[in-house]
Amino acid sequence: MSLKHFIETQDFTKAELLDIIQTVQLIKAADKQGCTPKLLQDASLAMIFEEPSTRTRVSFEVAMTELGGHALYLKPGEIHLGVRESLADTAQVLSRMVDVVMIRALKHETVTGFAEYAKVPVINGLTDFNHPTQVVCDVLTMMEHMPEGKKLEDLNVTFVGDATNVLSSLMFICTRMGMHFTHAAPKKYQAKPEWVRIAEENCKVSGGSFRMTEDPVGAVRDADFIYTDLWWWVGQEAEIPEREKAFMPRYQVNMDLLKKAPATCKVMHCLPASRGVEATDEVLDSPQSIIYDQSENRLHTEKGLLVWFVYPRLKRPSEELKAFHKGKIEAFLEKKLG
C-alpha cells in the first residue's frame, strides 16, 4: 500500500472521510460489545508531544493497546526533535522502529516537515493551524445526535468564538461534507481570509454553505449544533484581558444564547474548557450538552484512524513461516546455549 499521512482533512474527499468515519463506527460498535478486534497486533505507535494533552494522549494510547499494539509516549527532552537532530533524521530513524507516528506540535511545519521524510504514516494530533483528529470525531458525534429526519448535508453548525485551530479544522470538514457552517465572533477574531477561501471552495463542490457574522444570536437561530472553544491558545496569554473584553459577555455560550437556538440544538466543546468563560457550567452540564459523548468519541476515532492508515501496511506472515523462523532460532539457541 502506498504511504498516506493524516495531516489535514483537506487531503481527503468527502467519500474518503465518510469511509474513515464508517470504520470508526464499526470499531465502536464492536468495542461496545467488548469485541474490539486486534487489528494492529504487535504494531507500535510513537506519540510525540510538544505540549501535554489529556484526550489526545489517553485516546491514542488506549486505542493502540486495545487494537493489540503498543504506544510510546515521547515528550520534549526525551528525543532530539529538530534540536540536536534534524526532523529528517528523527523521522527516518523512527520509521525503522515503529509502524505509525502521531505528533502533537506547537507549529504545523513540524508535522509537515516530519511527514516529508517519514516512511510510515504520520497522524497530526494538533498543531497551531489545525486539529484534524478532533473534527473527524466531531462529525461522528454530530451524526449520532442529528435531529430526527435530517441528514448530514442538512446540518447547521455554528461556531461561537475565536479563530482557533479547531475552528479552522471544523469549518474545513463541515464545508467539505456539504454542511452549513457559521462562524460568529468579533471582527478581529474571525476566520482568516485564507481559511475562508478554502471553505468557500469546498462549498462550490459539496453544496454546503459558509458565512461569518458578528451577531451570535442570528448565528444560532437555526443551529443544530453550537460549538465553542477557548478564547486564547498557547502564546496568547498576554492578550487574555483584551480577548475577554472583546468576547464577554456577548459571545459567551450561556443559557440566554442557547435559548435563541432550536430546542433540539446540541452544545459541543472539544475540551479542555474554561468554565464560566467561553461557556457557562449551566450550558456545559445541561441535557443539550454532548461534550462527554464527543470526548469519548476521540477514543473510537483514534482507533479508526490507526486502523485505516496502519492495518493495510502490516505484514501478515503465515503460521508456517512463523513456525519456520521460531524453530530456526530455537535450534540455534539450543545448540549455542543448551
| Contact by Cβ (8 Å): 236, 264 | no
- Alpha-carbon distance of 335 to 326, in angstroms, equals 14
* Burial grade of 283 (CB within 10 A; 0-12, 13-18, 19 or more): buried
- Dist. CA 97–CA 115, nearest whole Å: 15
Residue in 137, 174, 265, 270 annotated catalytic:
270
The three grid cell numbers given for residue 257, joined into one nine-digit string: 444564547
At 29, list the grid cell. 460498535
Which residue among the candidates 229, 252, 265, 300 is catalytic per the annotation? Answer: 229
Question: What three-state secondary structure class fits 261?
Answer: coil
Given 134, 190, 252, 294, which residue is catalytic? 134
Active-site residue, 134 included: yes
Cα separation, 125 vs 105, whole angstroms: 8
Maximal C-alpha separation, the chain: 80
- Can you read off the three cell numbers belonging to residue 73? 509516549
Could you say which of 5, 55, 57, 104 is catalytic? 104
Q: Which long-range contacts (CB under 8 A, 24 or more apart) does 166-170 make?
A: 166/131, 166/134, 166/135, 166/229, 166/270, 167/191, 167/195, 167/229, 168/129, 168/130, 168/192, 168/195, 169/8, 169/9, 169/130, 169/131, 169/132, 169/134, 169/135, 170/135, 170/138, 170/227
270 given a catalytic annotation = yes
The cell for 254 is 450561556
Position 25: which residue type? Answer: Q
CA 150, 153, 154, 159 torsion-angle sign: positive
What is the DSSP track for 67-85? TT-EEEEE-BTTB-BTTTB
Active site residue 316: no
Annotated catalytic residue 298: yes
Indicate which residue of 5, 55, 57, 131 is catalytic: 131
Active site positions, annotated: 104, 131, 134, 229, 270, 298
